[in-house]
Amino acid sequence: MPTCENNACQSLARVISLDPLSDENYRVRLECPEIAAAILPGQFFMLRCPDRTDPLLGRPFALYDTYEADGKPVGIDVGFHVVGKMTGLMEDLQPGQEIEIWGPLGNGFPQVETGHLIQVAGGIGYTPFVAVSREALLGKQYGTESRQGIKAEKASLIYGVRTSRFRANMDDLSDLNDLDIQICTEDGSEGHHGLVTDLLKPMLENGEKDRITVLTCGPLRMMQAVSALCEELGVACWASLETPMACGFGACFSCVVPVKTEDGWDYRRSCMEGPVFPAGDILWQSIS
């Protein structure tokens, strides 16, 4: 039975399926009804292989999306890139296995109503925008029925990767006919040859800036560049940080982020006050 406290639950989730998204990128589907019913786009959860001491601590993962049965959320999808020991173990998960999970944790993306929602992602950082796009364009419900969520007249996804073989499979977005997806690669192997900011800048310059909202997630320097461009042009921007975490609930202070305050600056815990922050508040140069 799950143990729940302060809207977060800890339980064992059963693996339903594991599917490749691209080279070294996967989506795993987990059965965990309590978390699926509560989690919001932009929130995260911690995963840990049970009965193992290496790795000892859990690892944070963002919500990819929830899935339903009989009209009720019963589980979540998790997108991940194989980069370390934990994700290496997850690459070999089999249906029926169980994995330890606790969440939902942190905040989510802000509830906004906007003319143009622009999501800027790099690498595996596109995963939070599956749920965001479905909420904004399809009105999919997350959390309680009272949640207003994210609403947009139109939405775009600018997605950058180093090379085409690392581009994630976009089949999970096939129901989003109105989502404008633009791909760019650093080596020119697919889509625009260059950086995500090359595509973002004309969108911002040619749009109604007070009716545009930008959300970004991915490599740190990419988000810093997106934040700087939005600040220069006066466009609202929110960043979802992929800060390493140890506990996920604010006890260890291993995930602190320097942010601007009225008195200068201070640290904020990414697992509690984040992982989503107003991009202009983050002291990007001070993040290692």
**148 plus 179 within the same structural domain:** yes
Residue with tokens 């020991």, as numbered in its chain: 85
**120 plus 233 within the same structural domain:** yes
Decide: 196 and 219 in contact? Cβ < 8 Å: no
Mean pLDDT of 263-284: 95
CATH number of the domain enclosing 134: 3.40.50.80
Q: Is the pTM of this model over 0.95?
A: no
Mean pLDDT of 247-272: 91
Name which of 31, 35, 26, 29 is nearest 3 in CA terms: 35
CATH number of the domain enclosing 258: 2.10.240
Alpha carbon separation from 105 to 101, 245, 265 (Å, rounded): 11, 12, 24
Q: Which of 46, 79, 105 is a domain's end point?
A: 105
**253 plus 139 within the same structural domain:** no
Q: What is the mean pLDDT of the chain?
A: 93
Regarding beta strands 72-81 and 65-69, do their DSSP bridges make them parallel or antiparallel, or are they unpaired?
antiparallel
The predicted-structure confidence for 197-233, as pLDDT tens digits, reads as follows 999 999 999 999 999 999 999 999 999 999 999 999 9
**132 plus 220 within the same structural domain:** yes
Q: Round to whole Å and give the CA distance between 105 and 164.
A: 32
Report the share of the chain in percent with pLDDT over 90: 77
**183 plus 276 within the same structural domain:** no
Q: Round to whole Å and give the CA distance between 216 and 184.
A: 15
**125 plus 221 within the same structural domain:** yes
**120 plus 136 within the same structural domain:** yes
Residue 65 pLDDT > 80: yes
Instruction: Write down the pLDDT at residue 6.
Output: 65
> Cis peptide before 275, with omega less than 30 degrees from 0?
yes
Q: Which of 105, 132, 160 is a domain's end point?
A: 105
CATH number of the domain enclosing 59: 2.40.30.10
**196 plus 92 within the same structural domain:** no
Decide: 183 and 145 in contact? Cβ < 8 Å: no
**285 plus 227 within the same structural domain:** no
Q: What length is written for the chain?
A: 288
**76 plus 98 within the same structural domain:** yes
Tokens of 172: 């999970």
**219 plus 259 within the same structural domain:** no
Mean pLDDT of 91-114: 95
Mean pLDDT of 266-282: 96
Spatial neighbors of 165 by CB under 8 A, at least 6 apart, are 22, 23, 189
Q: Round to whole Å and give the CA distance between 190 and 94.
A: 32
Mean pLDDT of 179-184: 97
How would you class 135 by CB atoms within 10 Å of its CB: exposed for 0-12, middle for 13-18, buried for 19 or more? buried
Instruction: Write down the pLDDT at residue 170.
Output: 84
Domain with 19, as residue range(s), is 3-105
**48 plus 133 within the same structural domain:** no
What number of other Cβ atoms are within 10 A of residue 96's Cβ?
8
Domains in the chain, number: 3
For CA atoms 166, 172, 174, 175, the dihedral sign is negative
Residue 144 pLDDT > 90: no
The predicted-structure confidence for 75-86, as pLDDT tens digits, reads as follows 999 999 998 889
Q: Which of 105, 137, 169 is a domain's end point?
A: 105
pLDDT band with cut points at 50, 70 and 90 for residue 1: low
